[in-house]
Structure 1
């Protein structure tokens, strides 16, 4: 354990703060997580922790073995924290290089921009037993702190990767997948379509839905009926309904 860091000008503190941005995360291939539950989930799921950051006075978790630990003053931890009520524990975690799995079912996300929505979608995909989540162009960074919090640890349970959706969809279809896409028009009521042995589901942007060029690549367009006066369902809610239907 190192001596206590007391200055915001410390190089480590500056580097940790860079991880608040997507550019900083991509440049180092690492990301910052915080909170006892999230940090422990990352550890138990086998993700590589480059460093554990502990606020002075906060007890180390019992599972800490050879992970480097840095202790900081409370003012420093507040500086690097991105939560309203910091718990005094954070970690720098290495990203994983992932490859296509091609096991059914697969979730394909097109330009979902709200971190809370993406995090909830990932958490639901994990709960519904999806094999992987593929993120397309315009989708919020999966390592955004708000996304991580919304996943409640599911980020570490299910493979999540960024890819060109046109190429991924073509590859999945070649592997025998039927591709479903959410749509408001010219679509089947989702219960009218029976899932195939291999299915991929595309969900889209909160306001504009799935882009036309991506929608045209799908085999089936499905919709969820609206019985009240709401214009539409939240994308994470709609995704959850369809994901569980595909598992039925």
Structure 2
């Protein structure tokens, strides 16, 4: 059992709270029973399971298990009331191929919003999520928690969105952009296409102008009350389910 927060292993786990170390190691942390169960059910590789001393989880584990005391677990944990289980997970490299339904995320910076977008894309039956360079890290602990395990069930890619859009359009995918009303079509008037990609943008600024110009069509959701706009994850949910119908 590990009992010292100064143990080299514990120090490495704590480094995974920072993006640069997640990128460098190709690993990240998930915490909580539900997320650990979800990653174990998936094809992602779990390198190690951390369990707080005294906890008894009904899990059949083939992975390496390390028991740690409460002080160590609290040092690694980023939740206020830790459940006492976490896992070190290796990032999965997916091979990108344009698909029927793709969500592209431009510069979304709130971890909760990004996690909800991934979760909703999974629920709506989308094939891929592509996250642009200006967005929050999808392997941020708050983002991972907000996905509620969907991160492990829908392929997620990162990179330059213009390059991804070029690939999509080259294979006959219609690219839609969620935008304000100017030069945009109400979403209920959209023509349905077999292969569609939807771009959603930053919480305050929307989609970058240069990326917006790549879209085949702009789409908006009418606002009937006094609200200035919809939360990006809510708007994306409405549009994704409409496109899936």
**Aligned position for 1:219:** 216
Among residues 58, 66, 69, which one is paired with 1:70 in the alignment? Answer: 66
Cα distance in 1 for partners of 2:239, 2:199 equals: 10
Equivalent position SS for 2:21:
helix
The offset of 1:60, in angstroms, is 4.2
TM-score (norm 1): 0.97
Equivalent position SS for 2:144:
helix
Among residues 82, 92, 97, which one is paired with 2:78 in the alignment? Answer: 82
Equivalent position SS for 1:218:
coil
The offset of 1:85, in angstroms, is 1.0
Supply the RMSD in Å over aligned alpha carbons. Answer: 0.8
The CA deviation string for residues 105-126 of structure 1, in whole angstroms up to 9 with x for no partner, is 1000000000000111110000
Matches within 5 A, 1:33-112: 33-65=30-62, 67-112=63-108
Give structure 2 stretches of 5+ with no counterpart.
Answer: none
The CA deviation string for residues 70-128 of structure 1, in whole angstroms up to 9 with x for no partner, is 11110110110011110000000000112213111100000000000011111000000
**Aligned position for 1:240:** 237
Cα distance in 2 for partners of 1:60, 1:124 equals: 29
Matches within 5 A, 1:1-248: 4-65=1-62, 67-184=63-180, 185-248=182-245
Cα distance in 2 for partners of 1:217, 1:244 equals: 23
Q: How many residues align?
A: 244
Cα distance in 1 for partners of 2:243, 2:80 equals: 37
Structure 1 moving runs of 4+ over 2 Å: none
The CA deviation string for residues 196-248 of structure 1, in whole angstroms up to 9 with x for no partner, is 11100000000000000000000000000000000000000000000000001
Equivalent position SS for 1:200:
strand
Question: Does the 8 Å contact 1:101/1:131 carry over to 2?
Answer: no
Cα distance in 2 for partners of 1:27, 1:171 equals: 28
Give structure 1 stretches of 5+ with no counterpart.
Answer: none
The CA deviation string for residues 166-193 of structure 1, in whole angstroms up to 9 with x for no partner, is 1110110000000000110211101111
Cα distance in 1 for partners of 2:197, 2:47 equals: 34
Equivalent position SS for 2:177:
strand
Equivalent position SS for 2:49:
strand
